Amino acid sequence: MLKDMLYIGLGGFMEVKERVEKELKALEEKGKLSKDDSKTFLKNLYDKGEEEHNRHYKLMTKALKDVIGELGLATKDDIKNLEKKIDEKL
């Protein structure tokens, strides 16, 4: 399910990206927008997208850690600590 959500998100992103680029190119051809303005707009859009991605990634990571903690699941650190204790006893 997570994989499907990722593909849907990427597909949606690519569709929007193509439409924005098409509209910017049309505005350039009509002389209503310079190439520099178009590039600046795309860069700003990309930067904002990257910021949002990072923000969502942090939120998702925190949420997953909270769920793991609530369920009492063992983490990698928990397993490493147990392995270390076992090695010390042997």
Contact 33, 27 (CB under 8 A): yes
pLDDT for 2 beyond 70 = no
The CA distance from 75 to 69, in Å, is 9
Q: What are the contacts of 53-61 at 24+ separation with CB within 8 A?
A: none
Q: How confident is the model at residue 81 (pLDDT cuts 50, 70, 90)?
A: very high
pLDDT tens sequence across 9-65: 888 888 988 999 999 999 999 999 898 998 898 899 889 989 998 998 999 899 988
Nearest to 16 by CA among 45, 40, 38: 45
pTM for this one? Answer: 0.59
- Residue keyed to tokens 């090695």: 87
